[in-house]
Amino acid sequence: MNFLKTGNTVTSEGHHPHTLSTLDFQGASSAAAAKAMRVELSKLSSQLHDAEARKHFQTEMDGFFMLFTRYLNEKSKGTKLDWDKIQSPSPEQIVLYSKLTQAKSTEHLNKLAVLKLNGGLGTTMGCVGPKSAIEVRDGMTFLDLSVRQIEYLNKLNNVSVPFILMNSFNTDDETKRIVQKYASHNIEILTFNQSRHPRINKESLLPMPRTPTSQIEQWW
């Protein structure tokens, strides 16, 4: 093998000199990507003039930035998911509904709340609103059936188990309008909105939305 001397660096012929190790290079790239992302997120936040809206948006972006930097860190270390470790629960970890015993006391119901994910749209089923608003049986929607179940539980045991809906930015406004029809029912319905995070451009690793009000397709 022939060697070449370039300055103070000796390399084998046909190979480029390495001034940084691969790990150092990836680390430097990750640091640059994190800095660029922080700048872009600040630009988005600065476009909101309402103080309360800006504070809420910044909180969401802080959560997103934490996930983004974690992704960069794991990527720079070459961390990969070991799919062989992902297994179905063993039979002894699963309790069949038919084998559950009837509770003797209803006191525990005073500590119970029912939470349902309500962030998906029903576009694949021909619905333009929340998936929970799709009619599935006898003119009733998924949401109607859930309300009936919890209302029955409350009436049967003389309790007030709250029904909590975790919405997304896709479903929050419409869901708040829909649940108004349950105002006279024996059920307390609470809603909260999940955080909204920007989608990332694969090449630049920068956020796709250019404004806080960009199209919903640019957020997740």
Kindly report, residue by residue over 187-199, the tens digit of the pLDDT: 999 999 999 999 9
Is 183 within a domain? Answer: yes
Q: Which of the four pLDDT bands, split at 50, 70 and 90, describes residue 86?
A: very high
Give the pLDDT of residue 200. 96
End-to-end alpha-carbon separation of the chain, Å? Answer: 53
Examine the fold and report which residue of 43, 63, 79 is the final residue of a domain before the chain moves on.
79
Shared domain for 131 and 183, answered yes or no, is yes
For residues 187 and 117, state if they share a domain: yes
Question: Do 69 and 114 sit in the same domain of this protein?
Answer: no
Could you give the number of structural domains in the chain? 2
Q: Is residue 62 part of a domain?
A: yes
As a whole number, mean pLDDT of residues 51-68 equals 96
Write out the two tokens for 53.
């809206």
Structure confidence at residue 102 as a pLDDT band (50, 70, 90): confident
Say if residue 187 is in the same domain as residue 113: yes
pLDDT at 210 over 80: yes
Same domain for 119 and 59:
no
* Whether residues 54 and 115 fall in one domain: no
Residue 13 token pair = 């012929």
Closest CA to 182 of 155, 163, 161: 163
* 110 and 70 fall within a common domain: no
One domain for residues 66 and 134: no
User: In terms of C-beta distances under 8 Å and separation of at least 24 residues, what long-range contacts does 199-203 make, across chains too?
Assistant: 200/68
Across the chain, mean pLDDT equals 87
pLDDT at 47 over 90: yes
Q: Are residues 75 and 117 in the same domain?
A: no
Q: Is the pLDDT of residue 9 over 50?
A: no
> Which of 24-28, 56-60, 71-75 holds the top average pLDDT?
56-60
Q: Is the pLDDT of residue 16 over 60?
A: no
* Domain contains 148: yes
Is the pLDDT at 167 greater than 70? The verdict is yes
Q: Is the pLDDT of residue 95 over 50?
A: yes
Note whether residue 163 is domain-resident: yes
Q: Which of 117, 115, 116, 113 is nearest to 161 (CA)?
A: 113
- Please calculate the CA angle 58-63-65 and round it to the nearest 5 degrees: 90
Residue range(s) defining the domain that contains residue 74: 3-79
For residue 201, being part of any structural domain is answered with no
Split at pLDDT 50, 70, 90, the class of 184 is: very high
Q: Is 86 a domain residue?
A: no
pLDDT at 62: 97
Section 170-190 average pLDDT: 93
Residue 203 lies in a domain: no
Q: Mean pLDDT, to the nearest integer, of 59-66?
A: 96
Question: Rounded mean pLDDT of 146-171?
Answer: 94
Query: Is 205 among the domain residues?
Result: no
Instruction: Report whether 29 contacts 75 (CB < 8 A).
Output: no
Cut 0.75: pTM above it: no
